């Protein structure tokens, strides 16, 4: 005669076997845990019907959720924001924290994994998406451009009055998540400079490499001008945005140049920011190169993504940009 204990054990084993089998029939989808395991198609907005709604969209019936997740994981955060406006199903899927965690860890990779998790819990309530929107970060999907102008008096023969020229030049900065950046000072337009503003640029392109650090919304950057009298160019910037999470403006708080000794820099690719990090504004280590704090050419940097370099208003000629204000 079997005992009650044996019967209960058999029932539990059968239940466990069914659960194991159901895992293969209904695979676990962690990104759907936000709104339950059994996900029904989203009903049209404002529908009062209690019946289950069958999504008529062909893309939702043909494209599996796993494949949709894989496609979205390959896109940039800004593309995810635009894709979230397509439909409610995509919006719920894109709210998966996996997308935003990868984006945050890449954007602040210099801070390290442990430090990023500390900031996430202390300031952003454990939300990666909130951290992406609210925490200041330097954008790496484009170029920061500062447009500067000055007036230069010309000379004309056999005339009473001399002409006046409006000279326009640009400062270009392209940042990388690794803590390095590229800098170029040129009169060329954005669409022309964007083609060769990379680490493969030749010396003839006059693209200089440097290092930067980000602390809250403050950016410290420095690069070395090589030559017979090596000169250090230091930037002090403040990061901001015209909208939440945009980070599309950088105010140039200070622009400093000073001299450096040959024995302080062993190679051009050395971290020059670590050498001059604690220097004063009027400090120089080469008497032939005085320390100068520049007061002109401090127009704020405007961010231009690579998708907009051909159509940006910064490509317009000087006569059409006389009253341009970066904001």
> Tens of pLDDT along 210-237?
889 888 889 999 888 877 788 888 899 9
Average pLDDT over residues 165-180: 88
What is the C-alpha separation between 91 and 14, in angstroms, rounded?
A: 39
Helix, strand, coil share (%) of the chain residues, nearest 5: 35, 25, 45
CA gap 28, 30 in Å, rounded: 6
Strands 180-186 and 164-175: antiparallel
Q: Which of 125-139, 248-262, 309-323 has the lowest mean pLDDT?
A: 309-323
Domain boundaries, the chain: 1-37+57-134, 142-320
pLDDT at 178 over 50: yes
More confident residue, 136 or 297: 136
**Residue 22: pLDDT over 70:** no
Backbone angles phi, psi at 240, to 5 degrees: -155, 180
Looking at per-residue confidence, does 190 or 43 come out higher?
190
Q: Are 245 and 134 in contact (CB under 8 A)?
A: yes
Q: What is the pTM of this model?
A: 0.74
pLDDT band at 267 (very low <50, low <70, confident <90, very high): low
What pLDDT, on a 0 to 100 scale, did the predictor assign at position 301?
92
Q: Considering the chain, what percentage of its residues have pLDDT values greater than 70?
A: 76
The SS3 of residue 39 is coil
């Amino acid at each position: 005669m079997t005992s009650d204990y044996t019967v209960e054990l058999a029932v539990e084993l059968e239940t466990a076997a069914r659960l194991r089998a159901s895992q293969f029939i209904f695979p676990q989808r962690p990104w759907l845990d936000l709104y339950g395991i059994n996900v029904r198609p989203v009903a049209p907005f404002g529908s009062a019907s209690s019946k289950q709604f069958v999504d008529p969209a062909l893309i939702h019936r043909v494209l599996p959720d796993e494949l949709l997740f894989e496609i979205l994981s390959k896109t940039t955060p800004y593309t995810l924001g635009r894709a979230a406006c397509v439909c409610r199903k995509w919006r719920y899927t894109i709210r998966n924290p996996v997308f935003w965690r990868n984006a945050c860890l890449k954007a602040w990779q210099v801070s390290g994994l442990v430090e990023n998790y500390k900031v996430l819990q202390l300031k952003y309530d454990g939300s990666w998406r909130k951290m992406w929107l609210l925490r200041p970060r330097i954008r790496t999907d484009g170029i920061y451009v500062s447009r500067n102008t000055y007036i230069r008096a010309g000379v004309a023969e056999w005339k009473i009055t001399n002409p006046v020229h409006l000279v326009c030049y640009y400062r270009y900065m392209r940042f990388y998540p690794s803590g390095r950046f590229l800098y170029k000072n040129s009169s060329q337009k954005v669409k022309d400079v964007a083609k060769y503003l990379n680490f493969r640029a030749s010396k003839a392109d006059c693209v200089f490499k440097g290092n930067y650090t980000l602390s809250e919304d403050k950016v410290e950057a420095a690069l070395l001008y090589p030559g017979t009298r090596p000169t250090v160019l230091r930037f002090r910037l403040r990061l901001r945005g015209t909208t939440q999470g945009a980070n599309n403006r950088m105010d140039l708080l200070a622009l400093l140049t000073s001299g450096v000794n040959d024995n302080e820099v062993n190679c051009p690719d050395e971290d020059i920011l670590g050498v001059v990090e604690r220097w004063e504004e009027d400090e120089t280590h080469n008497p032939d190169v005085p320390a100068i704090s520049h007061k002109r050419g401090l127009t704020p940097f405007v961010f231009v993504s690579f998708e907009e370099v051909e159509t940006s208003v910064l490509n317009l000629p000087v006569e059409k940009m006389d009253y341009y204000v970066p904001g």
